[in-house]
Amino acid sequence: MVRLSRFHRLALLAASTAVVTGGALSQGSAFAATQWQEITDSPSGISVRLPGKPVMQRYSDHGVNSRDYVVPTRYGALGFSVFDGPAHAQAEPWDLKTGLKAAVDGYNSADIGAGLRGTDVHEGTKDGDRYLEAKLVGVGGRTGHIRFVDHGRQSIVVMTVGHDDQRDAVDRDYRQVLDSVKVPDHGPRQAQGPAVST
């Protein structure tokens, strides 16, 4: 059985992102100067730099444990999740396409009327790890990006949703988070394939 199809907690990252924004994306809220900081997921040792202190939530479902780290931004929210697969399924690949559907469905269930959907979906491999990435578009000028990476024992998800009038900040922050990902035994992660078109 493919691991990601066994759980739907992936949608909680998206739902958390929607809840943090209160279902209404800011179009210029006053935020203090962004303080980027390195956040380390202690169970896995995976770290990223995020633009502020995240709200962290833990979940467990069907032997899969996850930690979601979500930061509100001046344009919406940005989140990072780490999923640990069940020990008996470590050799099985993560179902990244199902992950994308779960994330979009999760966001839309938390923010009724958002109409969020993935576009420009593409897959690739970088440094031996498979990834799937999509642009996100929705009602009312919602825009964003999402990337899933299969690191074997763990899967990583980076997601940002904002408003189209702040697309440059949405794109820049997403790229900055991707470029900051560090995975033990992988060294610093580099951006995997084209993700952001401005």
Tens digit of pLDDT at every position of the chain (198 positions)? 233 333 344 555 565 556 554 444 444 444 445 789 999 999 899 999 999 999 898 988 777 788 999 998 888 889 899 988 766 556 678 889 988 988 888 888 888 888 999 999 999 998 789 999 999 999 989 999 999 999 888 889 999 999 899 999 999 999 999 999 999 876 443 334 333 322
Distance in angstroms (rounded) separating the CA atoms of residues 162 and 72: 10
Sign of the dihedral through C-alpha 48, 66, 118, 55? negative
Secondary structure (DSSP) of 19-62: HHTTTS--SS---PPP--EEEEETTTTEEEEESSPPEEEEEEET
d(CA 36, CA 187): 20
Contact by Cβ (8 Å): 161, 22: no
Q: Which of 130, 149, 153 is nearest to 64 (CA)?
A: 153
Query: What's the topology of domain 3-23+36-188?
Result: Protein Transport Mog1p; Chain A (3.40.1000)
